[in-house]
């Protein structure tokens, strides 16, 4: 039987995410989740708000927020009741699009 030694484990392989979404930015929602579906949202491969087309949501009115969260732009933004659940939802959305699941055995 192989002896367990945590100092010889390949941590790069163990903790390598299935999708490279770095940098992931997490924000508290503007409307406490009313339009977003969660109090926090996470955006993968974040650059600037203008580049991802989220400016109208941040600086617009209620109608702009509804339009944004009902649009395709919001489909790859994770939402949740905590920052961790928002990031988890982000990875779930990417898994759903690719048709794969992320498990500890992958």
Q: pLDDT tens across 14-40, in order?
A: 444 566 788 999 999 888 889 889 999
pLDDT, residue 7, reads 55
Region for 22 from its dihedrals, namely left if φ exceeds 0, alpha if ψ lies in -120 to 50, beta otherwise: beta
Nearest to 56 by CA among 42, 71, 38, 37: 71
Residue pair 44/76 in contact by the 8 Å Cβ criterion: yes
The pTM assigned to this predicted structure is 0.71
- Of 2-11, 19-28, 29-38, 74-83, give the range with the top mean pLDDT: 74-83
**Residue that the structure tokens 């759903």 belong to:** 96
Domain segments of the chain: what residues? 18-98
Residue 6 CA to residue 42 CA, distance in Å, equals: 32
């Amino acid at each position: 039987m192989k002896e367990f030694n945590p100092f010889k484990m390949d941590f790069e392989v163990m903790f390598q995410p299935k999708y490279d979404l770095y940098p992931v930015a997490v924000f508290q929602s503007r409307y406490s989740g009313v339009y977003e579906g969660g109090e926090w949202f996470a955006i993968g491969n974040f650059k600037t708000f203008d580049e991802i087309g989220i400016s109208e949501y941040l600086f617009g009115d209620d109608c702009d927020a509804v339009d944004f969260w009902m649009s395709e732009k919001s489909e790859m933004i994770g939402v949740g009741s905590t920052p961790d659940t928002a990031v988890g939802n982000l990875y779930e959305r990417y898994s759903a699009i690719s048709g794969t699941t992320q498990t500890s055995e992958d």
